[in-house]
Chain A
Amino acid sequence: MNAFIFMLPAAIFLALAGLAAFGWAMKAGQFDDPKGAAFRILDDTDRPD
């Protein structure tokens, strides 16, 4: 019974955190260009040279 007091809020918090993270990712356009993002990480034209 005592375990509930810690475990349930923790579980609910984790679930809400995941939901918030998903919401942020949708809003921030993380899913707008999955194909381009895969290449952009390899692109090093922003080197200061």
Chain B
Amino acid sequence: MIASASAVSACPSGLSPPSASRIAQDPVAFVTHKNGLKALDLVVKGASCGGCLSKIEAGVNKLSGITVARLNLSTGRLRVEWSGDLKPRAIVEAVANLGYGVTAFDPGKTDVEGAKAERRLLTALTVAGVGAAAVMFMSEPLWFGSDLPDEARNVLRWLSAAVALPVTFVSGRPFFSSAISSVRRRRLNMDVPVSLAVLLALALSLYETVVGGRHAFFDAAVMLLFFLLIGRVLDARLRRRAYAAANELASLQTATATLLDANGRAEAIRASDIRPGDLLLVAAGERLAVDAEVISGESEADLRLVTGEVEPAAIHAGKTLYAGAINLSAPIRVRALAAANDSLMADIARLLEAGEQKKSSYRRLADKAAELYVPQVHATAALGFVGWLAFGASPAQAAYIAVTVLIITCPCALALAAPLVQVVAAGRLFREGIYLSSGDALERLAAVDHVVLDKTGTLTLGEPLLRTESESERGVIDQAAMLARASHHPFSRALAKAAGPGPIAANVHETPGKGVSGIIDGRRARLGSAAFAGVPPGGGTELWFTLEGAEPAVFHFDDAIRPDASETVASLKSMGMDVELLSGDGEQRVSRAADAAGVARWKSGVTPLDKALHISTLEAAGKRVLMVGDGLNDAGALAGAHASIAPGGAVDVSRLASDCVFSGDSLRAITHIVATARTARARMRENFAFAALYNVVVIPVALAGWVTPLIAAIAMSASSAVVTLNALRLAAPGKRDKGVVR
């Protein structure tokens, strides 16, 4: 999980000194009111043992008016309820002072629907499990007790029916409702044969029980549901975990904004509560949560997440800023143009919608298999019925054979073939910090043959890096850093990072869009653009530093490329893929990044619309494109591509538009994801092949009328076990996989 990965490694319950805890925002905007009580949900980072638990709870309980303070150690969530006028900030400070990282948590962003669905499936699975055990227990004497009196057989059958019918009613619901809706849409999915097999097995068994026939298949029906529900529960849990991981960042980014009312009074509100027309104050370093128009103030905006441009843009009254822009140097006043959820460039919103439609029309491997399987098996069953009638069997006998064909070819193995592989593969990726948005994402990722990379934030780390520093420059860097540390400008921060921690100059003053000035050892110093420093103008991506009585010094910056970028590009090529670079940034920087990474084809200054257009052109030419990108300008392309991957630092929109999100700085994740997807596809195909082979063997047996409940039970569980074991081969990379993967 993201939370535990970034959690403090040492336990701060007293053994190690507390790390510098930062209180990001005033949590007052996230307090909920209920029955006169106030409540706040917090995420606590670094709590790992019983010591932490009691320390945090006791620490919060000490505050006045607290009625509930309960920390969930498994999820790291702290629920606090209180009455009276205790300030929520005091609670956050109390926890932070104990040495734990703490952030407000917006419970509105958790996946309530997914949790409910999983709980329903889990209940269905439990009912089916208990039911299957009970029916099995009563079937065993029927299978092996040849000396059982008929009276006893009858009792056992009726009891089996009494268990199997209600169990099917409860546990079969997910399948029945899905089958009905699929028939309505005139597209057969796997739930249609499942439902049919279960219901026919029950009907046949009831008939046999009533007339005192030889065989009843109550156990087969319940066991079938049990097996299939295992797959469903795993699938639902995986999906929810992936969703939770992808959204955890969003829940933690409990963005607040400063609202200015008519009297100019400032108030902290949730970013989601911003209405169009609101007047907001944006501090230096704050990220804009909504699209807005600048009313007053001069500053610079970091647009890396919006357009991919590394160079900051000037902010002045009347300029429109998009959500995701970071205000760098001075506070500005803006008027919101849209609510947080609607804050998207109109083009991108349209592209996202188109991409979603395209993806929902994707036909999964399992659906294709179902479309092949369903008519064939049903036709065989019908033929069996007609054939036996023609050969003089009674209608009851012929029906018995037709139904056994449906039961024994139970789509168990077929229905488990794809989801199990997806669960195992996604689980393995999950442990490596890679989150899939859906099961069929793997199938699409396996098919790609063309990769389009974004530059800023994808191929590069998205932050400028001070170009090679020689020893003689060291002293100058240290001096310049004394000014740079006071500024939010990306170049200043890169300079400060290169110099490491240290002092700040006296009388520091930042002139938005120009530079920083201050006093170092009694001498006046200036750091900024050429004009600001008072030297002849040069290129754009440099910073000048002047100190009274010393030569002016210049610093150059590169967009720091990810350390394994060229290695990743090379291995993508060796996997048979074309690699291309599309960036919204300037030509010079794009060509330098392309050279460093070994990408031959690149394009600079690309607009979001052009990116998406380029992808659809490639797709129209028969390519399966994998888009990798992080910015708002990539969102349309991510949604439109056959498959897409976003790094963890991507903006919300892009993360949600992607099939896959990876955390960490290593680009090697991309090759790893594609390789895993390809292996998973191979396993799925093996499973489908096995299921087909199984049917080829058992259909003649069933048509001959040799199937008994015992044979059905063994065949069904054996085929499910084979498919499961084959899927599990993915969990631990074997010798062959290792070579491909890393």
**B104-135 contact mask (Cβ, 8 Å, vs A): 1 or 0:** 00000000000000010011001100100110
In the bound complex, residues from chain A placing their C-beta under 8 Å from that of B147 are none
Residues of chain A within 8 A (CB-CB) of B71 are 36
- Which of chain A's residues 12-49 have a Cβ closer than 8 Å to chain B? 12, 15-16, 18-19, 22-23, 26, 32-36, 38-40, 42-43, 45
Whether B73 lies near A36 (C-beta < 8 A) is yes
Query: Which chain A residue has the least Cβ–Cβ distance from B126?
Result: A22
> What's the minimum C-beta distance from A13 to chain B, rounded to whole angstroms?
11
Any B CB within 8 A of the CB of A6: no
A35 to B72, alpha carbons, bound, how many Å?
8
- Does residue B696 face the partner (Cβ distance < 8 Å to A)? no
Please name all residues of chain B whose beta carbon is closer than 8 Å to the beta carbon of A23 when the two chains form the complex.
123, 126
Are A32 and B72 within 8 A (Cβ)? Answer: yes
- Bound complex: CA A15 to CA B222 (Å): 15
Given the interface pairs A4-B155, A35-B73, A35-B74, the reply to whether A42 lies near B50 with Cβ below 8 Å is yes
Given known pairs A26-B119, A43-B50, the reply for A12 and B134 (CB within 8 Å) is yes
Q: What's the minimum C-beta distance from A11 to chain B, rounded to whole angstroms? A: 7
Q: Is the CB of B50 within 8 A of A18?
A: no
Complex interface: chain A residues within 8 A of B130 (CB): 15-16, 18-19
B54 interface neighbour in A18, A26, A43, Cβ under 8 Å: A43
Task: Please name all residues of chain B whose beta carbon is closer than 8 Å to the beta carbon of A26 when the two chains form the complex.
Answer: 119, 122-123
The reply to whether B75 and A33 contact each other, CB–CB distance below 8 Å, is yes
B620 in contact (CB, < 8 A): no
Q: Give the residue among B50, B123, B127 with the most A Cβ atoms within 10 A.
A: B50
Q: Is the CB of A19 within 8 A of B54?
A: no
* CB of B159 closer than 8 Å to a CB of A: yes
Inter-chain CA distance A32–B126, complex, in Å, is: 18
Is B94 on the interface with A (CB-CB < 8 A)? no
B522 at interface, CB cutoff 8 A: no
**In whole Å, how far is B741's beta carbon from the nearest beta carbon of chain A?**
31
| B123 near A45: Cβ-Cβ < 8 Å | no
* CB within 8 Å for A40 and B53 given contacts A12-B134, A18-B130, A33-B75: yes
Cβ < 8 Å to A, chain B residues 136-187: 137-138, 149, 151-152, 155-156, 159, 163
A23 to B137 alpha-carbon distance, docked (Å): 22
Distance (whole angstroms) from the CB of B555 to the closest CB of chain A: 49
* Cβ-defined contact, B74 with A45, below 8 A: no
Interface residues of B in 75-106 (CB under 8 A from A): 75
Other-chain residue from B49, B50, B73 in contact with A33 (beta carbon distance below 8 A)? B73
Contact A1 B58 (CB under 8 A): no
- Categorize the interface residue count of chain B: 20 to 34
The chain A residue sitting closest to B148, CB to CB, is A1
**A: number of interface residues (CB 8 Å):** 23
List the B side residues contacting A42 at CB < 8 Å. 50
Cross-chain contact A40 with B151 (CB below 8 angstroms): no
Is the beta-carbon distance between A1 and B49 smaller than 8 angstroms? no
A30 to B292: give the CA distance in the assembly, Å. Answer: 47
Least distance between A36 CB and chain B CB atoms (Å):
3
Bound: A39/B56 CA distance, A: 13
Cα A40 to Cα B57 with chains together (Å): 11
Of chain B, the residue at the smallest CB distance from A38 is: B50
Residue of A nearest to B54 (CB): A43
Docked complex Cα distance between A34 and B73 (Å): 8
User: Given A1-B152, A40-B50: A8 and B126 within 8 A (CB)?
Assistant: no
How long is the Cα–Cα vector from A35 to B3 in the complex, in angstroms? Answer: 15
**Complex Cα gap A39–B126 (Å):** 28
B72 close to A36 (CB less than 8 A): yes
Known A35-B74, A39-B73; contact A45-B58, beta-carbon cutoff 8 A: yes
Interface residues of B in 399-433 (CB under 8 A from A): none
Q: Using a CB-CB cutoff of 8 Å, which residues 33-89 of chain B contact chain A? A: 49-50, 53-54, 58, 71-75
CB distance from A1 to the nearest CB of B (A): 5
Q: What residues of chain A lie closer than 8 Å to B159, measured between beta carbons?
A: 8, 12
Q: Which residue of A lies closest to B50 (CB)?
A: A39
**Whole-angstrom distance between the alpha carbons of A5 and B138 in the complex?**
13
| B123 and A15 form a contact (CB under 8 A) | no
Q: In the bound complex, do residue B119 and residue A32 qualify as a contact, i.e. CB atoms below 8 Å apart? A: no
Bound-state CA distance A43–B55 (Å) is 11
A32 lies within 8 A of B127 (CB) = no
CB-defined contacts of B119 to chain A, threshold 8 Å: 26
Q: Which residue of A lies closest to B129 (CB)?
A: A19
Name the CB-closest residue of B to A39.
B50
Complex: A36 Cα to B72 Cα, angstroms: 6
Q: A12-B134, A15-B134, A26-B119 are in contact. Are A43 and B53 (CB under 8 A)?
A: yes
Minimum C-beta distance from A4 to chain B (A): 6
> Are B126 and A19 interface neighbours, CB within 8 A?
yes
Which residues of A lie under 8 Å from residue B73 when comparing CB positions?
33, 35-36, 39
Measured between alpha carbons, how far is A34 from B126 in the docked complex, in Å? 20
- Asked if A11 and B134 make an inter-chain contact with CB atoms under 8 angstroms apart, the answer reads yes
Question: Does the CB pair A36–B53 fall under 8 Å?
Answer: yes
> Are B74 and A32 neighbours in the complex by a CB distance under 8 Å?
yes
Contact residues in B for A1 (Cβ distance below 8 Å) = 149, 151-152, 155
Q: How far is the CB of A38 from chain B (nearest CB, A)?
A: 8
Q: How far is the CB of A28 from chain B (nearest CB, A)?
A: 13
- Complex Cα distance, B156 from A8, in Å, reads 9
B145 to chain A, nearest CB (A): 12
Most buried by A among B71, B119, B130, B151: B130
Contact at A4–B72, with CB atoms within 8 Å?
A: no
**Smallest CB gap from B73: residue in A:** A36
Residues of A near B134 (CB, < 8 A) are 11-12, 15
Contacts A26-B123, A33-B75 aside, 9 further interface pairs with beta carbons under 8 A come to: A11-B134, A12-B163, A34-B74, A35-B74, A36-B71, A36-B73, A39-B49, A39-B54, A45-B58
28 CB < 8 A contacts A-B: A1-B151, A1-B155, A8-B155, A11-B134, A12-B159, A12-B163, A15-B133, A15-B134, A18-B130, A26-B119, A26-B122, A32-B72, A33-B73, A33-B74, A35-B73, A35-B74, A36-B71, A36-B72, A36-B74, A38-B50, A39-B49, A39-B50, A39-B54, A39-B73, A40-B53, A43-B50, A43-B54, A45-B54
- State the 8 A-B residue pairs at the shortest beta-carbon distance, nearest first: A39-B50, A36-B73, A35-B74, A33-B72, A35-B73, A33-B74, A19-B130, A15-B134
